[in-house]
Structure 1
């Protein structure tokens, strides 16, 4: 017989747990409860259909204010909620040192990081021919193909290095006297094929560095890349320069014809004349290892009216070419790099002319032992305002004294001139009435103890003074906290009694 329950004690609600039971603790722990809800919802969103005939429909749950998590918490990669444009702007603000690590986050980041790359040096030529280069980096504007043009054994421990190019060689390299670089260089047909692919894949190319190209290869780039402004050609000759005329917007050109011991080609007056007639918008021109004479330089000066910067590196010009510089009417900067000679037979000074607009003369790693050559150069550059000597051999007091005729000098830089003395420096700089800045670095024969009162007074009138002739120099340390290097004589009014003895004081 069933026992009848008391109606007053009957209830539909679950009986409350007594004490600290596990159920009561579980209900009070909201974090655990939220995890359960998160797991149930994630399973409902990712559940696969049971049969192909009745596919399941993913229903986005409505957010509940009583829950502590949102829909974004269901996504493992929070950056997937951002568009490509927003994420590109974020990645572009990060430093370039993080580029490699950022590309390892995901495939999407890898592709986006590739879209930010603008400049690239190619190492594998097949990467260009296969088209993977354009898929990986679709927005390239600067491409260097020199290293990719050299097929050398990478597992070799012998590295052949030049300031222009470096590559590995093996022990079976050809005997001494041969051109090492030409052995590992791709042939012209392969280079032209790569240039055609590059032109089709990078129509917005602005800067290109290429080696051993032909005229047809350059023409293919000129047709497809109308915005190209800077071109650097290694191992080029007169015939190759015919293709340059098609670059209508070319402004910067560097020709590397011959590099001793690496590769050899010839750029003569014929090529320089073709260059002058085809590239009339040139602003900067560098001739590295090029031959030529008065006629070629004159053609460049007459045709390239916008030329402002001209550089000669290890040139092989014939005698008498220096006077042709006077035809460069708008030239502002003239550089000589690693030149064994300037002009051994420049002719009479009456026929040299001068570059009226020239402002800067830069001589680096040049041999300056020929007095006649240096004097002719200073005649052509007689209106120059800045002159730089860096690691020049043969620059002694006698050669440097020729610079006294440069009356418009405002800035002088001497670096790595070991035979120039303090007396030779003083003789020249005190003759320049407009000098404002002086830099003397690593000139061991220029001593602090040999500075005369006249030279010290000149130092006080300078706007900028950098004085480190040797490691033992104490002048820079002693000038800290003084007015040295600023125009005026405030410093010398305190402790220099010799000032009254100067001429005209």
Structure 2
């Protein structure tokens, strides 16, 4: 016989779970909670709070709601040094990071030839292919730095530096690589390449009409036949013959081809190039917009310096690592100067020939800024020729160890418009030899950087510290 007591037996494991209170119900009934005592309030809140699940739950990725353009703008605010870590988050961020990369230096040519470079970085505007054009052994860990280029080599014995030229990729392979690069990077602005040809340049010029800066290593006259196809080219760097690495010839013929094809050129740098008066003259007459000319380690013919007078709008002349500026400077002494020249920079040049320096200063007598950095032979006699500059506003001297204080003073006192003077690491210029007239000139300058003898400054700063003393006197026996 069974009977019902009116109470439902509770199952130990009920299939129906009790509905949990929502946060909205808690929010609506907040006035009731606030009216309770603190102990009752804590007990009620603990009973109504849903228990924390022991299983870990993944939070939703809210970046999926953002379009690519918005997310790219957010990533652009992050420093470039930290963007590479973002590419490891997911595949989408990996692709977005590739779209933000603008400059890339190719070290493995297969990365370009296989098309992975273009698919990984579709928006490149600056590409350097010099290291990739050199066939390096796998896992080569030796980095070789040259003044012009740096590359890696494997462990082994090398009889000469000719291994660089011997291990360059063939011209045909470089042409195919340039064609693939131009087809995928039509917005290319700067290109650095070596051992290319006329056809390779034409392939790039056909697809990359916005290219403005070009750097050609191992360049020759025949390569420059394709230079005229770049309509918007403004900056050009030609590397011809590099001692110890490769031999290539850029003569007057190449300079004339360059002048006829690049009439919108603004900046030109010639490294290891030959040529002479005719080539420089043609550049000056055709490239009317040329403002900066740099000549590095040149093999120019005698009298090339005289062609500078045809560069009517030239504002900056830089001579770097020139063993001899001009072999026959006598013809330049009767020439007119460059009327628009404002800056003359001499870096690691041989200035022992007085006639050559006199001809150079005569050609650049209108310069307002003069820079001498680590120039050999710049003594008081040679520096006295700088009085040919009549309107100098800035003088920068660094590493000129033969120049003395009296030699410096005899020149700069004649420059009544001098405003900026910087003297660094010139050991024969002494503080104790500064005269009252030179001191008065220093007080009238707008900017003065006076660190001629770094050793004297170091020893004076260490006075009384005991540092710098010899071992026998510094250490005392106890």
**Partner of residue 419, structure 2:** 436
Contact 1:226/1:247, CA 8 A, preserved across alignment: yes
Instruction: Give the 5 Å matches for 1:178-217.
Output: 179-217=162-200
- Of 116, 119, 139, 2:123 maps to 139
Aligned to 1:91: 75
| Number of aligned positions between the proteins | 432
Match runs of 1:261-272 below 5 Å: 261-272=244-255
Helix, strand or coil: the match of 2:242?
coil
- Equivalent residues of 1:363, 1:392 under 8 A apart: yes
SS of alignment partner, residue 454 of structure 2: coil
In 2: Cα distance, 1:101 partner to 1:396 partner: 54
Q: Which residue, out of 277, 286, 293, partners 1:303?
A: 286
Alpha-carbon spacing, 1:152–1:30, altered in 2? closer, same or farther (3 Å) = farther
Confirm whether residue 121 of structure 1 aligns to residue 116 of structure 2.
no
In 2, are the aligned partners of 1:326 and 1:354 still within 8 Å (CA)?
A: yes
What are the residue-to-residue correspondences of 1:369-448 with 2, within 5 Å?
369-448=352-431
Normalization by structure 2: what TM-score?
A: 0.85
1:148 aligns with 2:139: no
Alpha carbons 1:305, 1:328 under 8 Å: kept: yes
| DSSP-derived class of the 1:457 partner | helix
Following superposition, the deviation at residue 26 of structure 1 comes to 12
Structure 2: how far apart are the matches of 1:228 and 1:152? 29
Contact 2:209 / 2:231 at 8 angstroms: preserved in 1?
yes
Match of 2:452 in 1: 469
Q: Deviations over 1:204-257 (max 9, x none)?
A: 101000000000000000000000000000001000000000000000000000
Normalised to the residue count of structure 1, the TM-score between the two structures is 0.81
Change (3 A) 1:77 1:344: same
Picking from 108, 114, 125, the partner of 1:130 is 114
Distance 2:59 2:45 in 1: 27
SS at structure 2 position matched to 1:388? strand
Deviation at 1:348, TM superposition (A): 4.0
Q: Would the alpha carbon gap of residues 350 and 264 (structure 1) be closer, same or farther in structure 2, given more than 3 Å must change?
A: closer
The residue number in structure 1 matching 2:207 is 224
Is there any run of 5+ residues in structure 1 with no aligned partner, and where?
16-22, 43-73, 479-505
Matching residue of 1:453: 436
Partner SS for 1:354: coil
- 1:436–1:464 CA contact under 8 A, matched in 2: yes
CA contact (8 A) 1:344 1:370 kept: no
For residues 348 and 233 of structure 1, the distance between their equivalents in structure 2, rounded to whole angstroms, comes to 32
Unpaired stretches in structure 2, ≥5 consecutive residues: 12-18, 21-42, 462-478
* Aligned equivalent of 2:34: none
Q: Which of 221, 224, 231 pairs up with 1:248?
A: 231
Distance 1:353 1:31, change over 3 A: farther
Question: Which of 330, 336, 340 lines up with 1:353 in the alignment?
Answer: 336
Please give the secondary structure, in 2, of the residue aligned with 1:223.
helix
Report deviation, 1:172: 4.9
**For residues 348 and 271 of structure 1, what CA distance do their matches in structure 2 show?**
24
Tell me the residue number matched to 2:144.
Answer: 160
Q: Per-residue displacement from partner, 1:391-430 (whole Å, max 9, x unpaired)?
A: 1111111111100111110000001111111111111110
Name the structure 2 match of 1:47: none
Distance 1:248 1:280 in 2: 9
**2:228, 2:260 within 8 Å by CA — same for their partners in 1?**
yes
SS at match of 1:363: strand
After the TM superposition, which residues 34-53 of structure 1 pair with which residues of structure 2 at under 5 Å, given as runs? 35=53
Measured after TM superposition, the shift of residue 152 of structure 1 is: 1.4
8 Å contact kept, 1:88–1:112: yes
Compared CA separation, residues 370 and 90, structure 1 to 2 (3 A): same
Q: CA RMSD in A?
A: 2.7
1:84-140 deviation line (CA, Å, top 9, x unaligned): 111100111100110221111111111100000001101111111111111100100
1:173-219 Cα offsets, whole Å, 9 max, x none, are 5523x523102210100000000000101011010000000000000
Cα 1:4/1:141, change in 2 over 3 Å: closer
Residue 36 of structure 2: aligned partner: none
User: Do the aligned residues in 2 keep the contact of 1:272 with 1:297 (CA within 8 Å)?
Assistant: yes
